[in-house]
Structure 1
Amino acid sequence: LSSSGTQILQPPKKRHRPIESTSISDDNAINENNNNTNNNSSSSSSATDSLINNEDPNLIKDDAYWERRRKNNEAAKRSRDARRAKEDEIAIRAAILEQENIKLRLEVSQLKQETAKLRCMVYATS
């Protein structure tokens, strides 16, 4: 959970090597090698190899999906942080303006008192 109480999605722990360390040509070479050895190996090894071969596109899709999720989570965090910073800035500005407003109201009050006093003096002398 983040500090704001929302849950941040995290990808599950990967059970394979990262996509950056493998390339399609490497996978093809491995698959060809596995196919050649499968002809000479037992059926259980063949079943395992076919499972691995069938999962490779899904693993690549999973990596792409989690990479998109990671980028989206980072963008969402940046957006939330920017919004909070803007809200904080607005709150600070509002506090400053409130203080200035109080000061100006006090000044208006003092000027009204001075005006009333001067009017009394003018009426008293006339």
Structure 2
Amino acid sequence: MNKRVPKIVQKWVSLIPERSPKKQSSLYSKNAVLLATFEPMLLGRKEIFGYMLEFLNKDNMTCRIIKNVTQIDEDRDTMIASGIYLFSFDDEDGDRQEVLARYTYVINEGRIITHHSSVVPENE
């Protein structure tokens, strides 16, 4: 285990301000699974693209990684990155909002094959 954030996760985070569902969903494998906080299970790049249309539609949204642990299985060319990230954006009234969330990315052959994200409970 190490604390280095995989390049594809860094890319995912850095693309957030661009608000580009096409670029964001291109990081996922064709048959990827996304388990988002307030959505049913999303299967495949097409469904993930549809989700990103809505998710990225927030003014001045940014994301930064607070904590990360990466596990590497070199035999299977697979990485699992787990951690905490902070989303910041302006709400409809122009007030800055922050959402602390936890994540797990499973990466294989340079693509995200599984992504789970959920809001960190207030008592954690």
Q: Same fold (TM over 0.5)?
A: no
- Which structure: larger Rg? 1
TM-score normalised per structure 2:
0.19
Structure with greater helix percent:
1
TM-score normalised per structure 1:
0.19
